[in-house]
Protein backbone atom coordinates (compact mmCIF):
# COMPACT_ATOMS: atom_id res chain seq x y z
CA UNK A 1 0.00 0.00 0.00
CA UNK A 2 2.79 2.40 0.84
CA UNK A 3 4.56 1.59 -2.43
CA UNK A 4 1.43 2.43 -4.43
CA UNK A 5 1.02 5.69 -2.56
CA UNK A 6 4.66 6.62 -3.13
CA UNK A 7 4.38 5.79 -6.83
CA UNK A 8 1.26 7.93 -7.12
CA UNK A 9 2.98 10.83 -5.39
CA UNK A 10 5.83 10.55 -7.87
CA UNK A 11 3.50 10.51 -10.88
CA UNK A 12 1.26 13.43 -9.87
CA UNK A 13 3.88 16.20 -10.43
CA UNK A 14 4.31 14.95 -14.02
CA UNK A 15 0.73 15.82 -14.96
CA UNK A 16 1.23 19.64 -15.13
CA UNK A 17 4.40 19.10 -17.19
CA UNK A 18 2.43 16.88 -19.58
CA UNK A 19 -0.09 19.71 -19.98
CA UNK A 20 2.77 22.11 -20.67
CA UNK A 21 4.14 19.68 -23.26
CA UNK A 22 0.69 19.64 -24.90
CA UNK A 23 0.75 23.45 -24.92
CA UNK A 24 4.12 23.38 -26.69
CA UNK A 25 2.98 20.63 -29.07
CA UNK A 26 -0.06 22.55 -30.31
CA UNK A 27 1.96 25.76 -30.61
CA UNK A 28 4.44 23.98 -32.86
CA UNK A 29 1.55 22.40 -34.76
CA UNK A 30 0.14 25.89 -35.43
CA UNK A 31 3.50 27.07 -36.78
CA UNK A 32 3.86 24.03 -39.06
CA UNK A 33 0.28 24.42 -40.32
CA UNK A 34 0.84 28.11 -41.18
CA UNK A 35 4.02 27.22 -43.11
CA UNK A 36 2.21 24.36 -44.81
CA UNK A 37 -0.44 26.77 -46.15
CA UNK A 38 2.25 28.84 -47.87
CA UNK A 39 3.57 25.76 -49.65
CA UNK A 40 0.04 24.63 -50.57
CA UNK A 41 -1.04 28.02 -51.92
CA UNK A 42 1.30 27.67 -54.92
CA UNK A 43 -0.45 24.44 -55.92
CA UNK A 44 -3.38 25.21 -58.24
CA UNK A 45 -4.96 21.80 -57.62
CA UNK A 46 -5.69 22.64 -53.96
CA UNK A 47 -9.00 24.43 -53.42
CA UNK A 48 -9.44 27.70 -51.55
CA UNK A 49 -11.68 25.95 -48.98
CA UNK A 50 -8.80 23.67 -48.00
CA UNK A 51 -6.49 26.65 -47.47
CA UNK A 52 -9.06 28.45 -45.32
CA UNK A 53 -9.58 25.30 -43.26
CA UNK A 54 -5.81 25.05 -42.70
CA UNK A 55 -5.70 28.64 -41.48
CA UNK A 56 -8.69 27.92 -39.21
CA UNK A 57 -6.81 25.05 -37.59
CA UNK A 58 -3.59 27.08 -37.29
CA UNK A 59 -5.53 29.65 -35.24
CA UNK A 60 -7.49 26.97 -33.33
CA UNK A 61 -4.28 25.22 -32.25
CA UNK A 62 -3.24 28.44 -30.46
CA UNK A 63 -6.58 28.41 -28.62
CA UNK A 64 -6.01 24.78 -27.55
CA UNK A 65 -2.54 25.77 -26.30
CA UNK A 66 -4.11 28.56 -24.22
CA UNK A 67 -6.59 26.10 -22.68
CA UNK A 68 -3.77 23.71 -21.73
CA UNK A 69 -1.73 26.62 -20.35
CA UNK A 70 -4.56 27.45 -17.94
CA UNK A 71 -4.87 23.80 -16.91
CA UNK A 72 -1.18 23.20 -16.15
CA UNK A 73 -0.96 26.13 -13.74
CA UNK A 74 -4.20 25.17 -11.98
CA UNK A 75 -3.15 21.53 -11.62
CA UNK A 76 0.30 22.46 -10.34
CA UNK A 77 -1.22 24.63 -7.60
CA UNK A 78 -3.91 22.08 -6.81
CA UNK A 79 -1.45 19.24 -6.18
CA UNK A 80 1.18 21.63 -4.78
CA UNK A 81 3.88 20.73 -7.29
CA UNK A 82 4.99 24.18 -8.46
CA UNK A 83 8.73 24.01 -9.20
CA UNK A 84 11.34 26.27 -10.79
CA UNK A 85 11.64 23.73 -13.62
CA UNK A 86 7.88 23.84 -14.26
CA UNK A 87 7.84 27.66 -14.31
CA UNK A 88 10.76 27.81 -16.76
CA UNK A 89 9.32 25.07 -18.98
CA UNK A 90 5.94 26.80 -19.01
CA UNK A 91 7.49 30.11 -20.08
CA UNK A 92 9.46 28.50 -22.90
CA UNK A 93 6.32 26.77 -24.14
CA UNK A 94 4.33 30.01 -23.89
CA UNK A 95 6.95 31.84 -25.96
CA UNK A 96 6.46 29.32 -28.76
CA UNK A 97 2.66 29.04 -28.52
CA UNK A 98 1.75 32.67 -27.80
CA UNK A 99 4.74 34.49 -29.29
CA UNK A 100 6.14 32.69 -32.31
CA UNK A 101 2.97 30.84 -33.42
CA UNK A 102 0.72 33.97 -33.66
CA UNK A 103 3.55 35.89 -35.33
CA UNK A 104 3.99 33.22 -38.02
CA UNK A 105 0.21 32.97 -38.45
CA UNK A 106 -0.42 36.68 -39.06
CA UNK A 107 2.69 36.97 -41.23
CA UNK A 108 1.61 34.15 -43.53
CA UNK A 109 -2.04 35.31 -43.46
CA UNK A 110 -1.71 39.02 -44.30
CA UNK A 111 1.72 40.56 -43.61
CA UNK A 112 3.83 38.54 -46.04
CA UNK A 113 3.18 41.14 -48.76
CA UNK A 114 3.99 44.10 -46.51
CA UNK A 115 7.76 43.65 -46.89
CA UNK A 116 10.22 44.59 -44.17
CA UNK A 117 7.60 46.50 -42.21
CA UNK A 118 5.56 43.34 -41.64
CA UNK A 119 8.66 41.40 -40.64
CA UNK A 120 9.66 44.12 -38.18
CA UNK A 121 6.16 44.10 -36.65
CA UNK A 122 6.08 40.34 -35.99
CA UNK A 123 9.64 40.34 -34.62
CA UNK A 124 8.70 43.16 -32.24
CA UNK A 125 5.68 41.16 -31.07
CA UNK A 126 7.79 38.06 -30.33
CA UNK A 127 10.35 40.12 -28.38
CA UNK A 128 7.56 41.73 -26.31
CA UNK A 129 6.17 38.27 -25.54
CA UNK A 130 9.59 37.13 -24.30
CA UNK A 131 9.92 40.23 -22.12
CA UNK A 132 6.40 39.76 -20.76
CA UNK A 133 7.10 36.16 -19.75
CA UNK A 134 10.45 37.04 -18.18
CA UNK A 135 8.84 39.80 -16.12
CA UNK A 136 6.04 37.49 -15.03
CA UNK A 137 8.55 34.91 -13.77
CA UNK A 138 10.35 37.61 -11.79
CA UNK A 139 7.12 39.02 -10.29
CA UNK A 140 4.94 35.90 -10.03
CA UNK A 141 5.22 35.80 -6.21
CA UNK A 142 4.98 39.56 -5.81
CA UNK A 143 3.17 42.12 -7.97
CA UNK A 144 1.52 39.56 -10.27
CA UNK A 145 0.36 37.13 -7.61
CA UNK A 146 -3.21 38.46 -7.58
CA UNK A 147 -3.39 40.48 -10.80
CA UNK A 148 -1.55 40.68 -14.12
CA UNK A 149 0.62 43.65 -15.02
CA UNK A 150 0.15 43.98 -18.75
CA UNK A 151 -2.07 41.69 -20.79
CA UNK A 152 -1.01 38.02 -20.36
CA UNK A 153 0.54 36.39 -23.42
CA UNK A 154 -2.28 33.82 -24.03
CA UNK A 155 -4.86 36.63 -24.25
CA UNK A 156 -2.50 38.70 -26.43
CA UNK A 157 -2.26 35.72 -28.77
CA UNK A 158 -6.07 35.51 -28.70
CA UNK A 159 -6.35 39.14 -29.80
CA UNK A 160 -4.00 38.40 -32.71
CA UNK A 161 -5.29 34.97 -33.78
CA UNK A 162 -9.06 35.15 -33.12
CA UNK A 163 -9.87 37.43 -36.10
CA UNK A 164 -8.16 34.93 -38.43
CA UNK A 165 -10.27 32.15 -36.92
CA UNK A 166 -13.35 34.22 -37.78
CA UNK A 167 -12.15 35.33 -41.23
CA UNK A 168 -11.23 31.78 -42.19
CA UNK A 169 -14.68 30.56 -41.18
CA UNK A 170 -16.51 33.11 -43.36
CA UNK A 171 -13.83 32.76 -46.09
CA UNK A 172 -12.85 36.44 -46.15
CA UNK A 173 -9.73 37.28 -48.14
CA UNK A 174 -6.98 39.23 -46.31
CA UNK A 175 -7.47 42.68 -47.86
CA UNK A 176 -5.20 45.73 -47.57
CA UNK A 177 -7.40 47.01 -44.74
CA UNK A 178 -6.77 43.82 -42.77
CA UNK A 179 -3.04 44.06 -43.49
CA UNK A 180 -2.80 47.65 -42.23
CA UNK A 181 -4.97 46.78 -39.22
CA UNK A 182 -2.49 44.08 -38.23
CA UNK A 183 0.44 46.42 -38.83
CA UNK A 184 -1.09 48.71 -36.20
CA UNK A 185 -2.71 46.22 -33.78
CA UNK A 186 0.24 43.79 -33.51
CA UNK A 187 2.83 46.23 -32.09
CA UNK A 188 0.11 47.81 -29.93
CA UNK A 189 -0.69 44.42 -28.37
CA UNK A 190 3.05 43.82 -27.94
CA UNK A 191 3.42 47.09 -26.02
CA UNK A 192 0.30 46.24 -24.01
CA UNK A 193 2.02 43.05 -22.81
CA UNK A 194 4.98 44.98 -21.38
CA UNK A 195 2.88 47.89 -20.08
CA UNK A 196 1.73 48.57 -16.51
CA UNK A 197 -1.96 48.23 -17.42
CA UNK A 198 -3.55 45.95 -14.76
CA UNK A 199 -5.58 42.91 -15.79
CA UNK A 200 -7.95 40.77 -13.76
CA UNK A 201 -6.59 37.42 -12.66
CA UNK A 202 -8.88 34.47 -12.05
CA UNK A 203 -9.10 34.16 -8.24
CA UNK A 204 -7.58 31.11 -6.59
CA UNK A 205 -10.26 30.97 -3.89
CA UNK A 206 -13.73 31.28 -5.41
CA UNK A 207 -16.35 32.39 -2.87
CA UNK A 208 -19.29 30.93 -4.82
CA UNK A 209 -18.04 27.86 -6.69
CA UNK A 210 -21.53 26.78 -7.83
CA UNK A 211 -22.23 30.12 -9.51
CA UNK A 212 -18.78 30.06 -11.09
CA UNK A 213 -19.44 26.54 -12.39
CA UNK A 214 -22.74 27.64 -13.96
CA UNK A 215 -21.12 30.62 -15.66
CA UNK A 216 -18.22 28.49 -16.87
CA UNK A 217 -20.63 25.91 -18.29
CA UNK A 218 -22.47 28.64 -20.22
CA UNK A 219 -19.21 30.03 -21.62
CA UNK A 220 -17.95 26.57 -22.64
CA UNK A 221 -21.27 25.74 -24.32
CA UNK A 222 -21.15 29.04 -26.23
CA UNK A 223 -17.55 28.42 -27.31
CA UNK A 224 -18.40 24.92 -28.55
CA UNK A 225 -21.43 26.25 -30.45
CA UNK A 226 -19.85 29.41 -31.92
CA UNK A 227 -16.08 29.15 -31.35
CA UNK A 228 -15.08 31.82 -33.90
CA UNK A 229 -17.39 34.49 -32.47
CA UNK A 230 -17.00 33.66 -28.77
CA UNK A 231 -13.19 33.45 -28.75
CA UNK A 232 -13.05 36.78 -30.60
CA UNK A 233 -15.42 38.43 -28.08
CA UNK A 234 -13.66 36.98 -25.03
CA UNK A 235 -10.18 38.04 -26.22
CA UNK A 236 -11.15 41.60 -27.15
CA UNK A 237 -13.41 42.13 -24.11
CA UNK A 238 -10.59 41.04 -21.81
CA UNK A 239 -8.09 43.27 -23.65
CA UNK A 240 -10.36 46.30 -23.22
CA UNK A 241 -11.10 45.48 -19.57
CA UNK A 242 -7.53 46.37 -18.62
CA UNK A 243 -8.07 49.99 -19.67
CA UNK A 244 -11.20 50.23 -17.48
CA UNK A 245 -9.24 48.80 -14.53
CA UNK A 246 -6.44 51.29 -15.23
CA UNK A 247 -8.88 54.23 -15.26
CA UNK A 248 -10.58 52.94 -12.10
CA UNK A 249 -7.27 52.65 -10.22
CA UNK A 250 -6.23 56.10 -11.52
CA UNK A 251 -9.45 57.69 -10.18
CA UNK A 252 -9.00 55.89 -6.83
CA UNK A 253 -5.47 57.24 -6.47
CA UNK A 254 -6.71 60.76 -7.23
CA UNK A 255 -9.36 60.45 -4.52
CA UNK A 256 -6.81 59.23 -1.96
CA UNK A 257 -4.54 62.18 -2.73
CA UNK A 258 -7.42 64.63 -2.34
CA UNK A 259 -8.48 63.33 1.10
CA UNK A 260 -5.37 64.57 3.03
CA UNK A 261 -5.59 67.94 1.25
CA UNK A 262 -9.25 68.36 2.25
CA UNK A 263 -8.49 67.42 5.88
CA UNK A 264 -5.61 69.88 6.00
CA UNK A 265 -7.71 72.74 4.59
CA UNK A 266 -10.46 71.93 7.13
CA UNK A 267 -7.96 72.24 10.03
CA UNK A 268 -6.73 75.60 8.76
CA UNK A 269 -10.29 76.92 8.65
The CA-based dihedral angle spanning residues 100, 105, 107, 109, taken in that order and rounded to the nearest 10 degrees: 180
**Amino acid 65: pLDDT:** 95
**Amino acid 267: pLDDT:** 57
Rounded CA-CA distance 47/59 in Å is 19
Rounded CA-CA distance 81/19 in Å is 13
Give the chain's count of helices (H) and strands (E): 10, 2
Decide yes or no: CATH 3.10.180.10 for domain 2-268.
no
**Amino acid 35: pLDDT:** 94
Rounded CA-CA distance 6/261 in Å is 62
**Amino acid 1: pLDDT:** 45
Distance spanning both ends of the chain, measured CA to CA: 78
**Amino acid 156: pLDDT:** 96
Beta strands, E only, the chain: 147-149, 198-200
For residue 200, the 8-state DSSP code is E
Within 10 A of 179 (CB to CB), how many other CB atoms are there?
18
pLDDT means over runs of 10, the chain (269 residues): 57 81 96 93 83 94 93 78 82 95 95 92 96 88 78 95 93 90 95 91 64 78 87 92 84 71 55
CB 163 within 8 A of CB 232: yes
Three-state DSSP state, 183: helix
Rounded CA-CA distance 192/184 in Å is 13
Rounded CA-CA distance 149/252 in Å is 18
Q: In degrees rounded to 5, what are phi and psi of residue 13?
A: -65, -15
**Amino acid 268: pLDDT:** 56
- Give me the DSSP letters along 29-74: HHHHHHHHHHHHHT-TTS-HHHHHHHHHHHHHHHHHHHHHHHHHHH
CB 42 within 8 A of CB 110: no
**Amino acid 129: pLDDT:** 97
Amino acid sequence: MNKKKTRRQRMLPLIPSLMTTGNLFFGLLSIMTSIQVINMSSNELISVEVLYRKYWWAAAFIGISAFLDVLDGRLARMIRSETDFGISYDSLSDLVSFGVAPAVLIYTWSLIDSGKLGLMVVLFYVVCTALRLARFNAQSQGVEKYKFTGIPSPMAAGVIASPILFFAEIKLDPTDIIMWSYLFVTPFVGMLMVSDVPYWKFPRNIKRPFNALVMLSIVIAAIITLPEVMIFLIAYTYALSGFFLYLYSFVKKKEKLKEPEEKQSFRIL
